[in-house]
Amino acid sequence: MRGISGRLGRTGRQGRLLGVRSVAGQVLFLQIVVAVVLITAAIVALAFHARQDGEEVAQNRALAAAEAFSDAPGTLEALQSENPTGVLQPATVRAAVGSGLDFVVVMTPEGVRLADSDTDLVGTRAEGVERAASGEPFTEIYEGEPEDAARAVVPVIDDEGRVVGLVSAGVGIGSVGQAVDRQLPVFLGAGAAALLLATLSASLVSRRLRRQTRGLGPAEMTRMYEHHDAVLHAVREGVLIVAGGRLTLANDEARRLLGLSADAEGRRVDELALAPDTARLLTSGRSVTDEVHLAGDRLLAVSTRSTDPYGGLPGTVATLRDTTELRALSGVAEVARERLTLLYEAGVRIGTTLDVVRTAEELAEVVVPRFADFASVELLDPVLRGEEPTEQATAMRRTAVVGARDDHPLQPVGDPISFAEPTTPMAAALSTGRAVLEADLRVAPGWRAQDPAGADAALRYGIHSLVTVPLQARGVVVGMANFWRAGGSEPFEEEDLAFAEELAARAAVAIDNARRFTREHTMAVTLQRSLLPRVLPEQDAVEIAYRYLPAQAGVGGDWFDVIPLPGARVALVVGDVVGHGLHAAATMGRLRTAVHNFSALDLPPDELLGYLDELVARIDEEEEDEDAAGITGATCLYAVYDPASGNCCMATAGHYAPAVVRPDGSVEFPEVPVFPPLGLGGGPFENHETQLPEGSRLVLYTDGLIENRQRDVDTGLRLLGGTLADGGSRGPEETCRALVDAMLPPHRSDDIALLVARTRLLAQDRVADWDVPRDPAAVAPVRAACGRQLERWGLGDIGFTTELMLSELITNAIRYGSEPIHVRMLRDRALICEVSDGSSTSPHLRRAATTDEGGRGLFLVSQFAGRWGTRYTESGKVMWTEQPLTGGAQPPVTPLLEGLEDAAW
């Protein structure tokens, strides 16, 4: 305070030197000086900025004019003519006059002026045009002959991309300066107006300050502060002022009560060796009245107020009164405050996860060491499994133990705990539903009855006091909490029981919530895993590896599938149902079943997604009531790979395109046409076909792999591509492992489905095909050729039945189909025979009457083939059969069946 008075005295002397006596007059003078300086700087800055803007505008005008002239009809022809100057000179003059520019020039690529708005410069060379001669237009502030200018130079390029000439246009710097000079009167006028307004506002401020200071000068104000200083230090109540976390003022009484040093003013509060709670209060900005704080052996009643409403600097003023006689009362209040604080922390810290075991650990961690030295929590086994607590509450399992030391004698986590002995405090607590106190375990024989050896070990360790309380939720016991004190800690008292019961009630609710979540999560995971493929089917088209990782907070609707198709082909499917929980898992199962059913029809990907889209829309219509959740938002990617040709056909409904890793290690993302998710009516869908060399890897995934809270989709796709770029050295299983290691987020909020397929190709010696003319006489030669091929493959034992089926299919194709007719045999895990023709007429199996002459061909095929069917192509249909490679003994065929042909078309 004395320092403040001295500074004010010096200010008063400086004011008298300036001829201004009062503080208000000095403020007025300084404001006017500052306004003049700021307005002058603003005018200079505006003038400089206006000149820069003028130059930039001039360059843009020049560039627009030069580009327009270079692109004008006839400019290129004139440059390529015999007399370009004669043709272009009048045009340059007109262009300069019409655009308001100072010059327009047409030059050769070497910079020789062919035409110029200034005719005296025709034939001279322009400087600095090399960038345009290389094909790059540019603008600049040119300094040189004939004058400084803002100019643009643009190349004229012929049809073959050669620069055949240059066009330059510009405005002289003098013209730009003249435009700026015309704005100076406006700037000066605005500055004068601003100065006038600043003077008026400073006068108003000075008048108000004069009224508030009553016209006092620095000397008079200094005397007033000296009187205030004397009173401040004379009172017998401590006064502190804190601003910005620093102590700015402390009177003598405050120094005595808090034991402050002489240099305390100006230092940070946390450097003054005050009690932590007192330091926090002084820097918190809170307003309190008579809050009790301990300072050494004194109890201080502290009151704080903010200085802001009273015109002072932002900060806090605190008054201190010595109230040591309130020590006993303060102790009780402190204990109550600690208990309330601990209950608040328990509400925040217990139940942060939906894990039963972790919730029990959090309960034990909250009370140690602030309420107990050791804490143990036992839960019923059904609660740990997420089930309803139906078992007897006398048998539990220790779930958490936390102590001030690790060498405690309490039973470890995982041990079964029995409370069958009725004399124990635990049994009493369970029977009454209330907390039970054993203040001194050394004289508590009922506690020793359950486990005498363990009780002796605990007493030898120093454990001497216990509070045990049942954990009850919805009126049902879910577990038990035990709080122990040891060593020099005070024994528990009756007042501690209410706190223990309140703490246990909060923890029991959190444990029960975690139990119910565990039950629902377990049910959803079980349902989802039962709906996902457990064992992938055997097939030779691709080598498969996969990963499915459910979300940590709940299961979702991600799924994948591998479906063998006729003709040694395979369908690869991946999909995602928006949402989490049982509904998403059940919806995923419905869609997966639908895809299996539709794939049995051997539909192309676009048609299959169309049927799936209609199915989802129909299901949503059936679930329109508000209690049922629709499945709009499901996505699906369906791809069909043919190992005979290496062709992969795919279509997507709202799903990300797969990644393709070529055998050389290059990674690409096919441009599959994107359509809305299923159920939104986004069809008709489109197919995308790509040719995959043998050894290529097709990577299908859901959005959980590439997108999370810390990573957007673009970043995820770049990381995916970088991880897959391995030089083609990894197999599918290694690829899955690398992707999971590189891209798995620390916390999975969404499911992740990953499917990696490495392609294979059927060897040429395992494929045989023949073109068949539409002539019944062609059946026998083709049949014989097929038989010979079967002999070469070592399949002669199934040759008869194969030839019989092929005869029926080829005969029917010749009789009822249309050209072209083609036969193909594939030797894979099974023998596959295909007969294709150009007709889309669908054959069907029927039972022929005894009087029918035909109609038994497909019946024979169905009896001899393991599987058979029809699929449709863009050019017709394909009838196919599959047979095991080992056929066993020849089936009996009566002469009546020989040569029969199928008439059921």
- 808 and 796 Cβ atoms separated by less than 8 Å: no
> pLDDT (tens digit, 9 = 90+) per residue, 301-317?
888 888 776 655 678 88
pLDDT at 422 over 80: yes
> pLDDT (tens digit, 9 = 90+) per residue, 158-185?
877 788 888 888 877 766 666 666 666 7
- 172 and 102 Cβ atoms separated by less than 8 Å: yes
Contacting residues for 613 by C-beta, under 8 A, at least 6 apart: 653, 678, 679, 680, 681, 682, 683, 685
Q: What is the pTM of this model?
A: 0.52
Centre a 10 Å sphere on the Cβ of residue 776 and count the other Cβ atoms it contains.
12
The SS3 assignment for 419 reads: coil
**What is the structure's pLDDT at 225?**
65
**What is the structure's pLDDT at 102?**
77
**What is the structure's pLDDT at 637?**
95
**What is the structure's pLDDT at 333?**
62
Q: List, in sequence order, every residue forming a beta bridge with 542; answer none if it has no partner.
A: 759
- 663 and 725 Cβ atoms separated by less than 8 Å: no
Q: What pLDDT band is residue 661 in, cutting at 50, 70 and 90?
A: very high
For the chain, percent of residues with pLDDT exceeding 90 = 15
Contacting residues for 174 by C-beta, under 8 A, at least 6 apart: 147, 148
Q: Is 102 exposed, middle or buried (0-12, 13-18, 19+ CB in 10 A)?
A: buried
Which stretch of 270-284, 568-582, 740-754, 851-865 has the lowest confidence by average pLDDT? 851-865
Which stretch of 446-455, 608-617, 893-902 has the lowest confidence by average pLDDT? 893-902
pLDDT at 583 over 60: yes
pLDDT at 746 over 90: no
For the chain, percent of residues with pLDDT exceeding 70 = 82
**What is the structure's pLDDT at 657?**
93
In angstroms, the CA 702 to CA 605 distance is 18
> pLDDT (tens digit, 9 = 90+) per residue, 35-52?
777 777 777 777 677 667
> pLDDT (tens digit, 9 = 90+) per residue, 447-492?
888 788 888 888 899 999 999 999 988 888 999 999 999 988 889 9
- 602 and 565 Cβ atoms separated by less than 8 Å: yes
pLDDT at 442 over 60: yes
**What is the structure's pLDDT at 852?**
44
**What is the structure's pLDDT at 899?**
39
- 640 and 658 Cβ atoms separated by less than 8 Å: no
> pLDDT (tens digit, 9 = 90+) per residue, 366-418?
988 888 899 999 999 888 888 888 766 778 999 999 988 888 888 899 889 88
Mean pLDDT of 77-95: 79
Q: What pLDDT band is residue 15 in, cutting at 50, 70 and 90?
A: very low
pLDDT at 649 over 90: yes
Per-residue tokens: 384: 């740990």
- 814 and 776 Cβ atoms separated by less than 8 Å: yes
